[in-house]
Structure 1
Amino acid sequence: MTHYTFPDHFLWGAAASATQTEGTVPGDGKGENIWDYWFKEKPHLFYQQIGPGKASDFYQQYETDITLMKTLNFNSFRTSLSWSRLLPNGKTLNQEAVTFYNNMINEMIKQGIEPIINLFHFDMPMYLQDNGGWENPDIIEAFRYYAQTAFQLFGDRVKRWTTFNEPIVPVEMGYLNTYHYPAVIDMKRAVTVAYHSMLSSAKAIEAFKLEKIGGEIGIILNLTPSYPRSDDKEDQQGAYLADLFYNRSFLDPSVLGYYPGDLLTLLDTYHLLPERITGDTTLLKANTVDFLGVNYYQPRRIKQSEAPIDDKNITPESFFSYYQDPNRRMNPYRGWEIYERGLYDIAMRIKADYQNIPWYVSENGMGVSDEERFMDKDGVIQDDYRIDFYQEHLKWLHLAIEEGANCFGFHAWTFIDNWSWLNAYKNRYGFYRLDLDTQERTVKKSGQWFSQVAQSNGFSHDD
């Protein structure tokens, strides 16, 4: 039996977001975001035509849910503010939202659960999207104002903030694929969105420093290791470019304060550089993050590009191709490879190349469909597969920490089965099962297991 004990004061908890959990109720004053709008316009795109209207009703059930978190021995929880709830028209405060978020934060602190508050999790207010969203440079000042408002309202109690969750995702899913609104494929627009996102993050950090409220501010990135198929130069180059586009385009400016030179050269070669904002390099350099949140789910397996580059239809995948490891293990429900060692490799890279900046696992989880198949006679879902998934990732994380990785916590995705964009409730991730009809929460076996892990700050396993 091997004992895996984690550092003192290690964070144990889960992550969520406003749009995926809060829901809306009459009179709450919330403004429309891109998901509300898209579901209203095209409900058939969403799994079983379920939109974000009710979600898991966290807006009304936050007290109950925070108590349930405490029964799992959480000492921390990360969620986001809804920009369109707090500032429905961009300037005027929604007092109902202020009351809700104050009560939510106060209840977490009362229960001994540290709130980690994220500012943006894929939910652009529709009034801003109508003016171009992240494509419009005016968004930088709008985001700064929103961030400053949040710091002034809640910064006396919230001591860990993050600017963005996975800023690559709105770029990749909304401007290189059609899974997020506005669902266009245009590399030049995608690059502009990414650039303005990074400048907005830096502006928020600048505002945080000016408020002098204490605490720390970071960013949450989904870091996906890119593994080359072979030692051949072409495969190695493909993996290098995949990493450049999908990891370093946000990691380098956030932590180091500048963009990789190779990325700028490549974008310039294909006439993809955005229109520069005056003072951008100074802004980025002066406003790097205090810590990182790392979301890890799967690796990328890369080989050399199989097709010539089409100058008129460039995407990141123009520069490399994917391959499947013949020995891979898959989560067949999500279509993602399970590769626990990837978390260790990320940790070692942060240590070697990114100043060993403090970081935590801000998301890790396993989505499974039709979990009722695994329900026992007492109504508890026997999700041993999820326990195995977490244990194996935590073993590799533990090794990384022993080897000097500066990791201070582990958050699962997620606490209660939550609404998930176009997938709605197709795949479930929670420690608690959510009954969509009754909103009843029922703990799963994995939740019982996690409660013991958090209580003992580790676990034992027969290796």
Structure 2
Amino acid sequence: MNKQKLNFPEEFWWGSAWSAEQAEGRGETGKAETVWERWYSEQPTRFYNRVSSEITTDHIHRYEDDIQLMKQTGHNSFRVSISWARMFPNGGERAVNPAAIAFYRDLFSKMNQEGIKVFANLYHFDMPAAMQDKGGWESRDVVEAYVHFATTCFDHFGDLVYHWFTSNEPLGPILGSYLEDFHYPNIVDFKRGAQAAFFTVLAHAKIIERFKEKKLSGKIGVILNLSPTFPRSQNPADVKAAEIADLFYTRSFLDPMVKGEFPQKLVDLLRKYEQLPNDYTSEDLACIKENTAQILGLNYYEPRRVKARMSAVNEMGPFLPEWFFENHIMPGRKMNEYRGWEIYEKGIYDLCMDIKNNYGNIEAFISENGMGVANEERFMDEAGQVIDEYRIDFIKDHLAYLWKAIQEGANIKGYHLWTFIDCWSWINAYKNRYGLVSLDLDTQKRTIKKSGEFYKQLSDENGFEYDVDYLV
């Protein structure tokens, strides 16, 4: 055994993240219908146990107490999202909501008073339904409405926010809405998805352009969900399959949002199959080129493992990335059986080194990493505390590889867990729990888990002891 203290850089960001739709609840401030509320009204059976986002963690009524819980669990930073639908309750149009401004200003002010840096994300899957009716991310008008929303947020909260982010996991709504049927409006059409993806990137660039014009303090970037891609073997067919999967799922947003250019191999592939978006201009491409992320959030949960296709593609079916590869189930892999995800701690190191070596070592942080577990009440002690040693081990094992990446020069400034308090998780609702603090859905009672106590000690000591012999 070779235990040693793994110390992290001074002023390292210890915290967590969640989103408005997943935590705030509707409240009384006024709020437009979101795509999630629209979908629930149309298909409530798609949501686990028919639980909607009406109440969630009720943060809008309990934020002052929640800030104290942040302190008690070691937070010096926290990522929120600002609800477009709350800021513009008439559906995303121009009339801003003073009650929403008052809520967010008070929330951010109190966080700052407690020494908790505000990381503000502008979009986390919660499109106002009225904006979706106008075409969502397929529409230039919606892009302009979104830029107006972002600019309004800069004007009202710029003095309170530490870092800004244009979007969380922009790949998610494209996959869910246009390819894989897990986001409203449940379209399966790659070409339309490509248009929506392009305009999402363009919106990112236009917002950064506005941010620079405002000369605000702090930095602005984006939060991307990234998984290192591994081929089944070094057989050329498997290697090619992994390269194509990586283009679709990693480089598609990472390259234009950080480097300002779309990967040429992906462009060539989509052109060959006539899947490029129709609506783009040279001015759009120049804007994307000139306005790139200043900071990068890395959401890491699992690796991506692929192999060459073993069966023919039905070319009469819809065009999909899986035309070029199949997922590979690696024998002996470690699993989070509740979420169906592989646990591969070294992947966080591989991801950070990719950013270091191929993206100018841009300032970055782990913006999400976590472990969802079902039926956590099984692990409650007599006092009602969840004794989640499995989550503590998960955090330690990932942090050890993050520490290794930092030792090797990766420009990583912090680690944010998903999530703070058990929150509503889209169509999975509360099926799996991720929080440092447990939530009783009937009473809204919050109880710090064992992992929350560990996280406070971790933050206070800015590190932890670990057997480095486990690192490979």
Q: TM-score range by the shorter chain?
A: over 0.9
Identify the residue that residue 242 of structure 2 maps to in structure 1.
239
Identify the residue that residue 130 of structure 1 maps to in structure 2.
133
User: 2:79, 2:121 within 8 Å by CA — same for their partners in 1?
Assistant: yes
Please give the alpha-carbon distance, in whole angstroms, between the structure 2 residues aligned to 1:213 and 1:397. Answer: 30
User: 2:231, 2:239 within 8 Å by CA — same for their partners in 1?
Assistant: yes
Which one of 302, 307, 311 corresponds to residue 306 of structure 2?
A: 302
Identify the residue that residue 36 of structure 2 maps to in structure 1.
35
Residues 189, 449 of structure 1: alpha-carbon distance in 2 compared, 3 angstrom cutoff: same
Aligned residues: 462
After superposition, residues 285-300 of structure 1 pair within 5 angstroms as 285-300=289-304
Unaligned runs of 5+ in 1: none
SS in structure 1 opposite 2:433?
A: coil
After superposition, residues 107-146 of structure 1 pair within 5 angstroms as 107-146=110-149
What is the RMSD computed on CA atoms of the aligned residues? 0.9
Deviation per residue, 1:289-337 (Å, 9 max, x gap): 1010000000111101223344442111111111111020000000000
1:462 deviates by 4.2
Identify the residue that residue 15 of structure 2 maps to in structure 1.
13
Please give the alpha-carbon distance, in whole angstroms, between the structure 1 residues aligned to 2:314 and 2:358. Answer: 33
1:211 deviates by 1.2
Please give the alpha-carbon distance, in whole angstroms, between the structure 1 residues aligned to 2:367 and 2:291. Answer: 21
User: 2:308, 2:326 within 8 Å by CA — same for their partners in 1?
Assistant: yes
| Residue type at the aligned position of 2:41 | K
1:388 equivalent in alignment to 2:393:
yes
Please give the alpha-carbon distance, in whole angstroms, between the structure 2 residues aligned to 1:307 and 1:257. Answer: 36
User: More deviation in 420-429 or 181-190?
Assistant: 181-190
Deviation per residue, 1:165-197 (Å, 9 max, x gap): 000000011110111101121111111111110
| Residue type at the aligned position of 1:283 | C
Please give the alpha-carbon distance, in whole angstroms, between the structure 1 residues aligned to 2:352 and 2:43. Answer: 41
Please give the alpha-carbon distance, in whole angstroms, between the structure 2 residues aligned to 1:235 and 1:407. Answer: 31
| Residue type at the aligned position of 2:350 | D
User: 1:139, 1:196 within 8 Å by CA — same for their partners in 2?
Assistant: no
User: More deviation in 156-165 or 9-18?
Assistant: 156-165
After superposition, residues 240-389 of structure 1 pair within 5 angstroms as 240-278=243-281, 279-312=283-316, 313-389=318-394
User: 1:307, 1:318 within 8 Å by CA — same for their partners in 2?
Assistant: no
| Residue type at the aligned position of 1:243 | D
Deviation per residue, 1:181-223 (Å, 9 max, x gap): 0112111111111111000111111111111122200000000
User: 2:143, 2:203 within 8 Å by CA — same for their partners in 1?
Assistant: yes
Q: Percent identity?
A: 49
SS in structure 1 opposite 2:140?
A: coil
SS in structure 2 opposite 1:146?
A: helix
1:142 deviates by 1.2
| Residue type at the aligned position of 1:114 | K
User: 2:166, 2:222 within 8 Å by CA — same for their partners in 1?
Assistant: yes
Identify the residue that residue 407 of structure 2 maps to in structure 1.
402
Please give the alpha-carbon distance, in whole angstroms, between the structure 2 residues aligned to 1:321 and 1:161. Answer: 36
| Residue type at the aligned position of 2:121 | N
1:178 equivalent in alignment to 2:178:
no
Give the 4+ runs in structure 1 shifted more than 2 A: 306-312
Q: TM-score, normalised by structure 2?
A: 0.97
Which one of 164, 169, 172 corresponds to residue 166 of structure 1?
A: 169
SS in structure 2 opposite 1:92?
A: coil
| Residue type at the aligned position of 1:320 | F
User: 1:270, 1:311 within 8 Å by CA — same for their partners in 2?
Assistant: no
1:91 equivalent in alignment to 2:94:
yes
| Residue type at the aligned position of 2:85 | S
Deviation per residue, 1:383-436 (Å, 9 max, x gap): 111011010000000000000000000000000000010000000000000000
SS in structure 1 opposite 2:122?
A: strand
Please give the alpha-carbon distance, in whole angstroms, between the structure 2 residues aligned to 1:437 and 1:159. Answer: 35
